[in-house]
Structure 1
Amino acid sequence: MNLSTQLHQTASRLGRKPAYYFMDQKSTYAELDDAVTKFASGLSQLGVKQGDHVALLLGNSPHFVIGLYGALRLGATIIPINPIYTADEIGYILRNGDVKVVVGLDLMIPLADKMHEHLPTVEYFITCESGQPEAALIDPSNLSFSSKLKTFSNVVSIGKLDFNEPSVDENDVAIILYTSGTTGKPKGAMLTHRNLYSNAIDVSNYLKMNEEDRVITTLPMFHVFCLTVALNAPLMNGATLLIVPKFSPGEIFRLAKKYEATVFAGVPTMYNFLLQYPEGEANDLKSLRLCISGGAAMPVALLEGFEKKFNVVVSEGYGLSEASPVTCFNPLDRPRKAGSIGQSILNVENKVVNELGDEVRPGEVGELIVKGPNVMKGYYKMPEETAATIKEGWLYTGDLAKMDEEGYFYIVDRKKDIVLVGGYNVYPREIEEVLYEHPDIVEVAVIGVPDPDFGEAVRAFVVSKNSALTEEQVIVYCKEHLAKYKVPRSVDFLDELPKNTTGKILRKSLKEQILQVK
């Protein structure tokens, strides 16, 4: 069993049920499954074979869903790419990933025209209609690579419903996810059909997803959090997706009310925007039975503020690309623990170890490692990095964590983000939690900066809703709640913090800005 065959079975059982709404237009499971089969067949007629690599350079849309499941039905390997990446970033992934076909918006044609000569493995660019005025000004017939251009609708139209999908082994690579990477070039995490299917099944069972659910799908589909939690898991169980092209608090509230949404999945920044949205009312989200947070640690003050205003429980979980991604979730059948990422989900084992790989006692901080059917096959064309990350079947996450006596895990911080102040370990998240309690602070990020006396010093970046708040006031507040060596040496006020496309705050960008200033 894999995601494609599961979708076909769901469509056979619930053909007339809405699979998704997009821009308030409905598509049933039968319609989706037919489009998936035709796209797989169309790709086959273009010469795409089982094992070939197909890149999806798309945002949230039906094109992404059909492209994803269509390529999987053919037995091809998908490489999702953030469409707002630069030409250099996109080019690297296409070359390193040995991509044969690129599926993207028609707006990418000028970019493809500049890049195609440097992409020797790419045989076709399949374009999806964006509806944007600038796209109408592009004349593909004048381009040197026009023979490589196909439209998405054309590929579907030449496809056949009697397409015989190949037999796919569960250990075949289904998706290669290029991680953002903290140093050097991004690495391609190879996720097999078994990895993706097992995690989608285990997550949907854990969250009790069913055909009555209506899931707000606003996280980026090219990101693994959305892929598993807000796309694959719901579709496997006959739920309906409410596809949001781009996160907007107003649109989330509108969709939740109109379609009586039952599940919302987001990163902490999204919850913060929803909480701060002036027009957001408690009744707007009354149909939600479950809110899921992941992608980054959620400040306790934000979690409690959101739950109090909207009267809905937020279940925080944990995952990473290399684990397909989910490893932990707060249980739904008993009270969740604020600040915890929960317990190990079914079939997945988490533990905290020291530098020797030995498990530490409850309450002690160490590195979180993971084992289960969801752990990746390895990094694409990177055997040494794979060997350094997966040891005896255990995936070393690089995250520092601790576990309590009841088996609940808590992320302390990333190993790379620890600040060493005079020999003391300072965890940025601890300071951020304190600052989020301040009534005037909306967002905060803490990093370490070089210091001639103590090696490193703590520096805070703050977004405040009170323009009169001063650096001195923030530091005094911290002194009241933190040990002296943990108190920020300096505080910067920003209009907004740098974030990636999922809304995760980028400490790395703040560090880079400081280096550039120096």
Structure 2
Amino acid sequence: MEVPLTVKAFLDRGARIYGDRVAIVDEPDLAHSWGRVTYRDLARRAAAQAAYLDRMEVPHGARVAVMSQNSARLLTSFFGVSGWGRVLVPVNFRLTVPEVQHIVDHSGADVLLVDPELTPVAWEIRGPRVLVIGESDEEMWTSGAAPVVPRIAESDTATLNYTSGTTARPKGVQLTHRNLWLNAVTFGWHLGVDDEDVYLHTLPMFHVNGWGMPYAVTGAGGTHVVLRKVDGPEILRRVHEHGVTVLCAAPAVLHSILDAAANWEGEVPGRDRVRVVVAGAPPPTRTVERIRSELGWEFIQIYGMTESAPLITMSRMRREWRDLPSSEQARLLARAGAPTIGVDIEVDGHGEVLVRSNHNLAGYWRNPEDTETVLRDGWLHTGDGGYLSDDGYLTIIDRKKDVIVSGGENVSSIEVEDVLIAHPGVREVAVIGIPDEKWGEAITALVVPAVDDLTAEQLIAHCRGRLAGYKCPKHVEFRTRLERTETGKLQKFKLRQPYWEGRERSVN
């Protein structure tokens, strides 16, 4: 017997076993907050959302885009949309109007659900029906009608996640129900998620579906605590107030927590209780040591990407390391980690990391050429350079594709270059990532000016009007020329080299 693996199974189990338990603690300081939501009520609201989309005549298989900061409504949509056969398109709420318009157009979204704080962007989007969730939207969540139950195959696309890659336009990653189910179960098993866990959503839910934690925590009957905006002191307050046991974070979030802990009165909350999962860029070993000593939290690192749903490896403390000095433990933990169950990793002759697993993407939406390239020979080609140690652990040492990871966000250097070169004062430009203690990598523009009076402030302001804030350069340096090959191609590895001199890895 084969039963299709679908994301609705996580909600069904949570509601059936833990119906009276609090599933979600919504952001409290909002006029449209749901407050505390039980698992039974979460299931009812997800079904009501599906029935509402039925009444709107949004067909099964249609794309429903959602642009929202973390919220109970967004979390419910992971089930209310995908659980009844439609495709959820989580949109980065930091994007500008043109960036959102591209995703909406490319995905062919029938509907755009948007948080009230983001309506200035949403009302400029052309094409889909726009619904504001959080303002007079109770009809969407209170319908008593039963939704139409479609036949869902586990190979059906459940979410379409857009990621900045090596081109100026993001690609839509098709993740199936099977991809998401296996990623969530694998993540939950390695992390030890159970019904005593309280999960704090410091990670934006749009980020590869919250790395699968909305599914894993729901299926286990844990409690979701919503956090809309990252703030170090507020994170510590939520950890204290709700008894948080696990959270996921980019390295920049770790620094905000450490800064807040330095000014915290009394014992830092969560000591010997909290597990913090980190990804986006490997933090320095000193940061790993500080998380473990100053906070007393368990540090866990994963490596992954949108195309792998995202889990590929996990690095977690193990008994063989207990007698090692803390600095050596931190060095080992700072590696990308060991392949998780069901994941195979190889490093090819060019040093590129290749991955094979049951949760690799089905393909890029409407992009067969790039799909064939990234999945050639039966392996996912990550575009990252690395090596496998004798103990089977992976270390990432370079990024072969033109991506900068800053504050946990992937940024296409080509996209930033396209915006900068459109400025009349720019003759040539190359955008690279340089080491930065807070952001991991700081976006830096190397510019050959076409005029004498061009300033860095002018260029950054030019970018801010056309790109999401996290994509804008943090530094601008002016050059008389840029290193190129005989054929005119930029040699970015040479441009990056002085900034990474003396480092073991060319990523941070």
Give the alignment's TM-score, normalised by structure 2.
0.75
- Asked if structure 1 preserves the Cα contact closer than 8 Å seen for 2:116 and 2:133, the reply is yes
Match of 1:404 among 364, 382, 389: 389
Match of 1:36 among 26, 42, 46: 46
Deviation for aligned residue 1:502: 12
Q: Which residue of 2 aligns with 1:374?
A: 359
Match of 1:276 among 236, 259, 272: 259
- The question of 1:126 aligning with 2:131 is answered yes
Match of 1:71 among 81, 98, 101: 81
Match of 1:183 among 167, 177, 186: 167
Q: Which residue of 1 aligns with 2:176?
A: 192
- Asked if structure 2 preserves the Cα contact closer than 8 Å seen for 1:219 and 1:226, the reply is yes
Q: Which residue of 2 aligns with 1:490?
A: none
Whole-Å separation in 1 of the counterparts to 2:301 and 2:133: 35
Q: Which residue of 1 aligns with 2:218?
A: 235
Trace 1:57-456 onto structure 2 (pairs within 5 A). 57-116=67-126, 119=127, 122=128, 124-129=129-134, 152-160=137-145, 162-224=146-208, 226-229=210-213, 231-277=214-260, 278-280=262-264, 282-286=267-271, 288-334=273-319, 335=321, 337-355=332-350, 366-416=351-401, 432=435, 445=441
Aligned partner of residue 354 in structure 1, secondary structure: coil
- Asked if structure 1 preserves the Cα contact closer than 8 Å seen for 2:176 and 2:362, the reply is yes
Whole-Å separation in 1 of the counterparts to 2:6 and 2:21: 21
Q: Which residue of 1 aligns with 2:451?
A: none
For CA contacts below 8 A with separation 6 or more, give which structure has more relative contact order: 2
Aligned partner of residue 81 in structure 2, secondary structure: helix
Whole-Å separation in 1 of the counterparts to 2:85 and 2:256: 39
- Asked if structure 1 preserves the Cα contact closer than 8 Å seen for 2:25 and 2:36, the reply is yes
Whole-Å separation in 2 of the counterparts to 1:72 and 1:443: 33
Q: Which residue of 1 aligns with 2:455?
A: none
Deviation for aligned residue 1:276: 1.8
Whole-Å separation in 1 of the counterparts to 2:442 and 2:158: 37
Deviation for aligned residue 1:282: 4.6
Whole-Å separation in 2 of the counterparts to 1:242 and 1:126: 25
Which amino acid in the other structure matches residue 298 of structure 1? P
- The question of 1:18 aligning with 2:18 is answered no
Deviation for aligned residue 1:350: 1.6
- Asked if structure 1 preserves the Cα contact closer than 8 Å seen for 2:92 and 2:206, the reply is yes
Whole-Å separation in 2 of the counterparts to 1:23 and 1:449: 37
- Asked if structure 2 preserves the Cα contact closer than 8 Å seen for 1:39 and 1:159, the reply is no
String of CA shifts for 1:67-99, please: whole Å, max 9, x gaps: 221011220011110123111001111001100
Whole-Å separation in 1 of the counterparts to 2:447 and 2:60: 55
Deviation for aligned residue 1:417: 6.4
Deviation for aligned residue 1:450: 7.4
Which amino acid in the other structure matches residue 244 of structure 2? A
Deviation for aligned residue 1:391: 1.3
Whole-Å separation in 2 of the counterparts to 1:443 and 1:301: 15
Q: Which residue of 2 aligns with 1:4?
A: 8
- Asked if structure 1 preserves the Cα contact closer than 8 Å seen for 2:156 and 2:177, the reply is yes
Whole-Å separation in 1 of the counterparts to 2:58 and 2:76: 16
Deviation for aligned residue 1:509: 3.3
Whole-Å separation in 2 of the counterparts to 1:393 and 1:379: 15
Whole-Å separation in 2 of the counterparts to 1:113 and 1:418: 30
Q: Which residue of 1 aligns with 2:496?
A: none
The count of residues paired between Structure 1 and Structure 2 equals 416
String of CA shifts for 1:155-180, please: whole Å, max 9, x gaps: 223452x3342121001011111102
Deviation for aligned residue 1:258: 1.1
Deviation for aligned residue 1:352: 1.4
Q: Which residue of 2 aligns with 1:425?
A: none
Whole-Å separation in 1 of the counterparts to 2:403 and 2:364: 26
- Asked if structure 1 preserves the Cα contact closer than 8 Å seen for 2:239 and 2:270, the reply is yes
Whole-Å separation in 1 of the counterparts to 2:115 and 2:442: 37
Deviation for aligned residue 1:260: 1.2
Q: Which residue of 2 aligns with 1:141?
A: none
Whole-Å separation in 1 of the counterparts to 2:373 and 2:275: 37
String of CA shifts for 1:262-282, please: whole Å, max 9, x gaps: 112111111111112242365
- Asked if structure 2 preserves the Cα contact closer than 8 Å seen for 1:196 and 1:228, the reply is yes
Deviation for aligned residue 1:451: 12
String of CA shifts for 1:373-399, please: whole Å, max 9, x gaps: 100011011111111111122100111
Q: Which residue of 1 aligns with 2:55?
A: 45
Deviation larger for 270-279 or 373-382: 270-279
Deviation for aligned residue 1:418: 11
Q: Which residue of 2 aligns with 1:359?
A: none
Whole-Å separation in 2 of the counterparts to 1:33 and 1:18: 12
- Asked if structure 2 preserves the Cα contact closer than 8 Å seen for 1:267 and 1:502, the reply is no
Whole-Å separation in 2 of the counterparts to 1:218 and 1:55: 21
Deviation for aligned residue 1:448: 8.8
Deviation larger for 410-419 or 241-250: 410-419
- Asked if structure 2 preserves the Cα contact closer than 8 Å seen for 1:171 and 1:193, the reply is yes
Which amino acid in the other structure matches residue 107 of structure 2? G
String of CA shifts for 1:125-147, please: whole Å, max 9, x gaps: 221126xxxxxxxxxxxxxxxxx
- Asked if structure 2 preserves the Cα contact closer than 8 Å seen for 1:44 and 1:74, the reply is no
Aligned partner of residue 191 in structure 1, secondary structure: strand
Deviation larger for 397-406 or 163-172: 163-172
Whole-Å separation in 2 of the counterparts to 1:286 and 1:13: 30
Whole-Å separation in 2 of the counterparts to 1:154 and 1:338: 48
Whole-Å separation in 1 of the counterparts to 2:295 and 2:26: 25
Over the aligned positions, Cα root-mean-square deviation in angstroms equals 3.0
Whole-Å separation in 2 of the counterparts to 1:237 and 1:343: 24
Cα gap change, 1:271/1:111 in structure 2, threshold over 3 Å: closer, same or farther? closer
String of CA shifts for 1:182-222, please: whole Å, max 9, x gaps: 42200001100000000000110111100000011111111
Give the alignment's TM-score, normalised by structure 1.
0.74
Which amino acid in the other structure matches residue 300 of structure 1? T
Whole-Å separation in 1 of the counterparts to 2:344 and 2:289: 28
Deviation larger for 28-37 or 219-228: 219-228
* Unmatched segments (≥5 aa) in structure 2: 29-34, 322-328, 405-431, 449-459, 482-508
